[in-house]
Each structure stands twice: as C-alpha cells, then as structure tokens.
Amino acid sequence: MEKILNYINGELTNPVSGNFFPTINPAIGKPYALVPDSDKPDVTKAVEAARAAFPKWAATPASNRSAILIKIAELIERDLDKLSLAESIDQGKPVKLAKSLDIPRAAANIRFYATAILHESADAHFTNEEAINYTQYTPIGVVGCISPWNLPLYLFTWKVAPALAAGCTVVAKPSEITPMTAYLFSKLCMEAGLPAGVLNIVHGVGPKAGQAIIEHPEIKAISFTGGTATGKIIAATAGPMFKKLSLELGGKNPNIIFADCDFEKAVSTTIQSSYSNQGEICLCGSRIFVERPLYEKFLKEFTARTKALVVGDPLDEKTNLGAMASDTHMKKVLSYIELAKQEGGTIVQGGKQVKLTGRCADGYFLEPTIITGLPHTCRTNQEEIFGPLVTIMPFDTEAEVLEYANSTTYGLAATIWTENLKRAHRVAAQVKSGIIWVNCWLFRDLRTPFGGMKQSGIGREGGFEALKFFTDEKNVCIKL
Ligand code: NAD
C-alpha cells in the first residue's frame, strides 16, 4: 500500500512515532493507502521549520513569491488527470467532477493569490493637512491551515495560497479522510522550488495533529474550514491565546423558489445545488422552499429528475453521484432519513443505501433523497446533514419564507429564484446568510467575500480580505 508522508522542511518524512493508519477508498470500501498518524512532535518540527523559513520568505519580493506560486499552479494543471483521479479515489466524488471543478479550482486559487500580490495597495489618510497616516501590512508569521474532506485540494489551496502569497510560512493539515492530493501537492511544491520550510504539511487526525497546530504558541493565526462543533473547540483553544481566527463552518442552506422564476433554470440548477458531490458541499441547498402556486409542478419535475440521476462508480463518466466520503458519514445521513420518518416526513424519492455490483459492491452509496411534509422547525430541517438529501416545503408569503429561511443557527449560503428584480434585492437583503445567489448557484468570483453568518463562521475568505487576514496591520502617522 502506498505510504503518504509528511512534508516538513522541504522533505517528505515519516511521522516521529512511525505510526500510520489506513485511508479508505469509499467507492470500494477498502483501505488503499497509509496516512502518517502525526502528533505534537511532528507539529513541533513543522513549526520550527516554518519559523526558520519565515524571515527570508517574508522578505522575498512579491514578484518572486508570485513566480513560484504560478509554477505550482502550472504543475497542478499539468497533472490534472492524475490529481483528479486521486481526488476521486480518495473522496468518492465522480472523477469528472474532480476534473471539471476541484482540480481546476485548486490551480485557480493559487493563480489568483499569486497575481493578487502584484496588484496590492495600501491606504493613506491625510489628516487636516497636518499629518499623513499610512497603513502597512506585514506577514503575521507562522500560520496554521486546517481543511476538511469534502473538497480536499480545492479547500486546502484556498487557505494555503493566500497565506504563502502574503509572505507567511505555513503548517497545514488536510483531512485525515482525504489526505492524498495534499501529499501529491507537496511533491509539486518541491518540484516548483518552493523553499524548504515555507509550507509544511502534517498529516493525521484532528484531536492529535490538528489540536497540536491550534495549541502551538508560535502559530499566530488559524484558518480553519470544517464542522461547527470543531470550530467551537478551535475557538475555545485559540481565542484565549489571542490568535487571529478565520472559521468557515457548517450550513443549512435555503433555496427560495418564487412562482415567477425561470422554471427550467430553477429546477436544473437546484438539482445541481442539492446533489453535486453527493450533497457534500457546504454550499449545497438542503431546504427547498417553493411558493405554493408552483409547489406541485416543481415537486413533480424535481422528483423525476432526481430519479434519473445515476448513482455509480465514481470512475464511470456516466455517474452523477459517486460514493459518500466514509462509512461513518453514510450512516450519519441514513440516521437522518430515519429521523425524518419519525418526525412525520414522507420519503418521496430515494431514502436508501445503494448496493452496486462488481468493483463497487462494498462502497458507500446513497440514493438522492427527497422528503416532504416536515415543518421548518424539526431537527431534519435545523441540523446540518451534508448529504444527498433535501426537504421540500411550500410557502405563501415573502415574510413566511424569510422566517423559515432564517430559522436555523446557520447562515452560510442561500439561493433565490425570481424574475422580479425588486423582490430579489428585497429578499436578498433580509436572508441572514453570507453568500446569496440569485438565479444561479456556485457562480464564483474569487474577489468576493466568502463566509458565513451566525454559527457558519467568523471572518471571510476570498479577495484581498484573505491576504489581509495573514498580515499584521500597522498605522504610521507622520506629522507634516
Ligand atoms: P471536521 O470539523 O470534522 O474536520 C475538519 C478538519 O478539522 C479536519 O482536518 C480534521 O482533522 C480537523 N480537526 C478535527 N478536530 C480538530 C481539533 N480538535 N483541532 C484541530 N483540528 C481538528 O469537518 P469535516 O467533517 O472534515 O467537514 C465537513 C464540515 O465542513 C461540514 O460541517 C461542512 O459544512 C464544513 N465545511 C464548511 C465549508 C465552508 O466554507 N464554510 C466548506 C467545506 C466544508
């Protein structure tokens, strides 16, 4: 079995303990590689390397940092097929999705920040013609980046790219469930000539390797994407240490569909926003609210198209939904389907595990599932499930749907479907989510602020905000 290795001080290394654990290919339900079971000593080594590398990297001209990062982006593009296949095997997603979304986006993340630093500017304030104030942004030091399993290389690079571009050195940990592409990425960094210690990747489980990153006193900022429960642990540890924190957490996103929408676009895009990546995208909409005059028509068409989706081998080009990321996660989603039944819901479509034959006979597959007849207040409609499962509910008025949409503790993303522009603005202003898409979904401009309200997180990624996050701001006032 292939052994994944840590990337510390420019070298691929075994964990200090020598211990590894298996990572599973969820489409076949079998281990296929070994992951370092890193702990505090590995993080200590990584932080030492990052500290040693920091002064030189921070002082490297932006154009030189940019050139190395662009080289890394080019290598990702060169290895598109290899990385897409690796992502699909590790995570369970259809390989065609990895090839069209995950891996191109990983390269785009790096290009975006590699070029952003060539166009940065700083503020200056003239005070009553008596003084000039200017703001300096200096890289904050060694930072920690921790990412989840759903979009492995995509989200890993979304953090690491701005940190490196800003001049920080990094200790990063990908999810232990999907470590493979971060490992392949470390090899590309070596090939691109990234100086030793600038990026260090420590593999392992959250409570050991992850917690050691959070607790390390020399790590000045933490950029974390993952579940809200983990976010709370991180905030509780890092808050009293006065670390800078960016937390991108869970969601329970509403889709608000008015009767005056473009029906075809609303249905086809909502199929995407419900089931892409098996519903394992933090931005997937899981609560679909349809204005009553359209409700029956929408439900009928949406159900027919859900039924037509192919659940299958992620390596098959015909597959729409691949494997769930893990057995544990598949069982969690199944337990919510049972809960929905207990809460009085009707399973209109799906609801069961899919047993494939052949290569994928032991894989973790689920039917895309539609549930109706539930109140917006029940647990199924309040808790994040993170799978190919949606509830559909009718509404009568704008005020009513806003109450439903805003009723959860989350506030990450929402979609609004209407051809009435005034209504689109009015409703968008009142939905308490950090990201609103009107008549589209996952249409991204990397310059825009990305993040959630309420328990979906604090801070924003994207644009120059993410670069600033990795810096210390200083105002210099000069009396004229
Ligand atoms: P998770 O919180 O279990 O794990 C995320 C990462 O945190 C992993 O690398 C894990 O090893 C690490 N971790 C776990 N415990 C830790 C600890 N005590 N200290 C430090 N690190 C620790 O999340 P997950 O199950 O991998 O991902 C799914 C969740 O991520 C969902 O809730 C989803 O909504 C969320 N998510 C959010 C966004 C966003 O942008 N808001 C994007 C993708 C996923």
Q: Which helix (H) or strand (E) holds 305?
A: helix 292-307
Name the pLDDT band for 71 (thresholds 50, 70, 90). Answer: very high
Report the pLDDT averaged over residues 103-115: 98
- Report the distance separating Cα 255 and Cα 337, nearest Å: 20
State the pairing for strand pair 20-25/30-36: antiparallel
Tell how far the Cα of 229 is from the centroid of ligand 1, in angstroms: 9
Instruction: Give the mutation target among 37, 156, 171, 175 for probing the ligand 1 site: most ligand atoms within 8 A of CB.
Output: 175
Q: Of all protein residues, whose CA lies closest to atom 43 belonging to ligand 1?
A: 282
Domains recognised in the chain with CATH numbers: 2-249+456-479 (3.40.605.10), 253-444 (3.40.309.10)
Ligand 1 neighbour 461 (Cβ under 6 A): no
- Report the distance separating Cα 176 and Cα 209, nearest Å: 10
Tokens of 418: 């209407």
**pLDDT of 365-399, one tens digit each?**
999 999 999 999 999 999 999 999 999 999 999 99
Residue type, 267: V
- Tokens 């390397």, located at residue: 49
The residues annotated as belonging to the active site are 248, 282
Residue type, 306: T
**pLDDT of 304-338, one tens digit each?**
999 999 999 999 999 999 999 999 999 999 999 99
**pLDDT of 218-252, one tens digit each?**
999 999 999 999 999 999 999 999 999 999 999 99
- Output the pLDDT for position 42: 99
- Report the distance separating Cα 19 and Cα 474, nearest Å: 44
Tell how far the Cα of 143 is from the centroid of ligand 1, in angstroms: 17
Could you tell me which residues come within 8 angstroms of residue 254 by beta carbon, excluding any fewer than 6 positions away? Answer: 285, 287, 288, 289, 404, 405, 414, 415, 431, 433
